[in-house]
Amino acid sequence: MLLLASALDYLHNHCETPIIHCDLKPSNVLLDGDLTGHVSDFGLSRFLTEPTSNVPESQSSSIGIRGSVGYATLEYGMGSEVSVYGDVYSFGILLLEMFTGKRPTDHMFSDGLNLHNYVKTALPECVSEISKSLGLQEGTASVVEAHRQLSVTPQKIEECLTLIFGIGIACSTDSPTNRKDISNVAAELKSIRKNLLG
């Protein structure tokens, strides 16, 4: 996820003309032979016409809804212009999906419950419960192996998961301007990885 955040940071903040992907989802993240993730499918992407501001009101016009169900931000469905905030939202949902093992379109998400709220209400007490599909509970083979190879305690794994879930929640809030900046997300994920691996 760190590489994906770094790729979005490059597209949003380091290209001559910022690029909005508009359709970030699992099938648009490809893994190479070293299992390094690469962003793909730029078919819906847009160049920002006003590179000096990331505020949605100043963005280039988009026609129709951008993105895929479950990953597209709410404001796109209400006719808002494309913005970096839309990609950040999709990144947050993708992050939550990867660490819970639940798709945002899962049948359990109905009647106002969505992936964002599911994780938000579980934190911090139920981190191990919402990540149980990943086999990260104390005593599971993957945790025992991680502890053996890296001297990583189950408590440290849970602490890092709590931070990662917090990033996913902060990226997928309803209000676009309250979402994290992707460059800060990349820095935080790098710090979490350094803390976990020592």
Catalytic positions, please? 23
Which residue's structure tokens are 């939550």?
A: 96
Judged by DSSP in three states, 176 sits in helix
Residue 189 one-letter amino acid: L
Judged by DSSP in three states, 119 sits in helix
Centroid of chain to Cα 67 = 14
Tell me the β-bridge partners of 29.
39
User: Which has the closest alpha carbon to 171: 112, 61, 118, 96?
Assistant: 96
